Amino acid sequence: MESIRAHVTAHLAEHLALLDRLIRHPSVAAQGRGLEETAAEVEAQCREAGAVRVERLRLDGAPPVLLAEFPGRSDRTLLFYNHYDVQPPEPLGEWSAPPFELTVRDGCLYGRGTSDNKGDLVSRLAALRALRETAGGLPCRVLFLVEGEEEVGSVHFGRYVRALADRLRADGCIWEYGERDPHERLHVIAGVKGICYVELEVEATARDLHSMWGAVVDGAATHLAWALAGLRGADGRVLIPGFYDAVRPPRPEALAAAAAVPLDDAQLRLQAGTDRLIEGRSGRAAVHAYLFEPTCTICGLDAGYTGPGMKTVLPRRARAKIDFRLVPDQDPEEVVRLLRAHLDRTGLRRYTLRFFGGERAFQTDLQHPFVSLVTDAAREATGRETVLMPTSPGTGPMHDLGHPLGLPILSLGVGYWGCNAHAPDEHIRLADFQETVVMLAHLLARFAG
């Protein structure tokens, strides 16, 4: 491990240069920007890291998925899942450094994608290079599967997996990300929530009207507010009839793991930057809700005039973006059907519901030997206490990969609790990056045996 550590330190500047090359591609999936170029850059970096075969697959005009194969001394195969797309950088005015270049400041690496997920991708390639150059090769076979639609719900990922299924044979999978919590414990994550993301657009009148007509006509913004207010109660419960019907209660071992998670509402408050949690969701209930409850969140609202001063207008159109996080076994398409039925029942008329993407939740069986192998290796390499999270509160297309291939999937990586993923000033800590490269190299060595 010492020779790996020395190698990482000696070549750090080169690793950061590779990360900078990736960050400079503004691969915003939501806006369809820079995706081809970024995929080409990832392919080049895989080849530089010793891939013997890189396949860039395209389906239906979707951003390409890359499958890179690195041979090893044993046939045992570890699959890494990453994505090269990022969240939109907006609001631009709130960044202290440009979002699309790597800025090193105070021991941190700033830029859109540093923590989610380009930093992880580069740390993994760096681990392969360190192993090759210090041990003369990889101890096991390694596959990299890298997609470009993770931030928009991995729309085509399931089909890509089916198309590549015969080449994805593996014995375990390391998922895209990981984090150190506020007590500097390393998290190993064994599952994800699902998602259903929709846009609701209400059109109330034929055109924008003078707001004096508000005496006889309700505008689109008012109709939208009524519709949205009826989606969720102050206690966090989603009010759409049937929403909870498919929810499968967490398994006993998942509950046991959750009980051992040293997360409390104080940390969650710190992470959320607010003291005010949803009513009834403090203490252990906060942790339980965070891991095991589905959600309904308004991500965006837009109607009428929002510039400076007054405009007395009754806006014809109003839009909202709504994000439901799902738990096993909720089906995103069923959630859309239930939402539509609910809106119709409440009397909302002249609305359009656009489904932007859905994924199901997934949880790895915590009794699989891969789980203890990964957590032990992480602890040995970092000296950190590890925390086994039965699931992340976040989302990813784990179900698309883990369900058809029957793979155990665990996630760990470069992030930490304060890295502002999805927000302005996204960053990671340089020391975490180095530590992660060493950890992954150690994990590969343990996994091979």
Task: Identify residues 345-364 at the interface with another protein (CB under 8 A).
Answer: 347, 349, 356-357
Nearer to another protein, 43 or 293 (CB): 293
Q: Is 369 in the site for another protein (CB under 8 A)?
A: no
CB of 391 to another protein, least distance (A): 11
CB of 224 to another protein, least distance (A): 8
Nearer to another protein, 16 or 97 (CB): 97
Residue type at 209?
L
Q: Is 152 in the site for another protein (CB under 8 A)?
A: yes
Residues in 193-212 that interact with another protein by CB under 8 A: 193, 195, 197, 199, 204-212
CB of 23 to another protein, least distance (A): 19
Q: Is 286 in the site for another protein (CB under 8 A)?
A: yes
Nearer to another protein, 382 or 395 (CB): 395
CB of 152 to another protein, least distance (A): 6
Other Cβ atoms less than 10 A from the Cβ of 260: the count is: 12
Stretch that binds another protein, among 82-90, 119-127, 182-190, 372-380 (CB under 8 A): 82-90
CB of 230 to another protein, least distance (A): 8
Question: Strand 415-416 relative to strand 313-314: parallel, antiparallel, unpaired?
Answer: unpaired
CB of 423 to another protein, least distance (A): 4
User: Rounded CA gap, 49 and 71, in Å?
Assistant: 12
Question: Strand 386-389 relative to strand 186-189: parallel, antiparallel, unpaired?
Answer: parallel
Helix (H) or strand (E) holding 340: helix 332-345
Nearer to another protein, 5 or 316 (CB): 316
User: Rounded CA gap, 156 and 65, in Å?
Assistant: 9
Residues in 302-331 that interact with another protein by CB under 8 A: 302-316, 318-321, 323, 325
Q: Is 151 in the site for another protein (CB under 8 A)?
A: yes
Q: Enter the DSSP assignment of 63.
A: P
CB of 84 to another protein, least distance (A): 17
- Select from 24, 124, 129, 281 the one that contacts another protein (CB under 8 A): 281
- Select from 252, 273, 406, 449 the one that contacts another protein (CB under 8 A): 273
With contact defined as beta carbons under 8 Å apart, do 394 and 192 qualify? yes
How many chain residues are in contact with another protein, going by CB under 8 A?
97
- Select from 71, 98, 158, 394 the one that contacts another protein (CB under 8 A): 394
* DSSP code per residue over 206-224: SS-EEGGGGGT---HHHHH
Residues in 408-437 that interact with another protein by CB under 8 A: 420-424
Going by C-beta distance under 8 Å and a sequence separation of 6 or more, which residues neighbour residue 121? Answer: 22, 42, 82, 84, 144, 146
- Select from 63, 153, 178, 250 the one that contacts another protein (CB under 8 A): 153
Distances (CA, A) of 338 to 155, 224, 242, 268: 21, 18, 7, 31
Nearer to another protein, 53 or 105 (CB): 105
With contact defined as beta carbons under 8 Å apart, do 291 and 258 qualify? yes
CB of 12 to another protein, least distance (A): 28
Q: Which residues pair with 395 in a beta bridge?
A: 193
Q: Enter the DSSP assignment of 139.
A: S
Within a 13 Å sphere around the CA of 345, how many CA atoms are in the beta-carbon half? 11
Residues in 213-232 that interact with another protein by CB under 8 A: 213-219, 221-222, 224-226, 228-230, 232
CB of 265 to another protein, least distance (A): 8
CB of 118 to another protein, least distance (A): 17
Q: Which residues pair with 196 in a beta bridge?
A: 324, 358
Helix (H) or strand (E) holding 105: strand 103-105
CB of 284 to another protein, least distance (A): 12
CB of 174 to another protein, least distance (A): 20
Q: Is 399 in the site for another protein (CB under 8 A)?
A: no
Residues in 235-264 that interact with another protein by CB under 8 A: 236
Nearer to another protein, 139 or 357 (CB): 357
With contact defined as beta carbons under 8 Å apart, do 108 and 414 qualify? no
Binding-site string for another protein from residue 104 to residue 133, where x marks contact by CB under 8 A and - marks none: ------------------------------
Residues in 163-192 that interact with another protein by CB under 8 A: none
User: Rounded CA gap, 180 and 382, in Å?
Assistant: 11
With contact defined as beta carbons under 8 Å apart, do 384 and 150 qualify? no
Closest to 164 measured CA to CA, from 39, 53, 66: 66
With contact defined as beta carbons under 8 Å apart, do 26 and 448 qualify? no
With contact defined as beta carbons under 8 Å apart, do 141 and 68 qualify? no
User: Rounded CA gap, 326 and 90, in Å?
Assistant: 26
Nearer to another protein, 53 or 284 (CB): 284
With contact defined as beta carbons under 8 Å apart, do 436 and 114 qualify? no
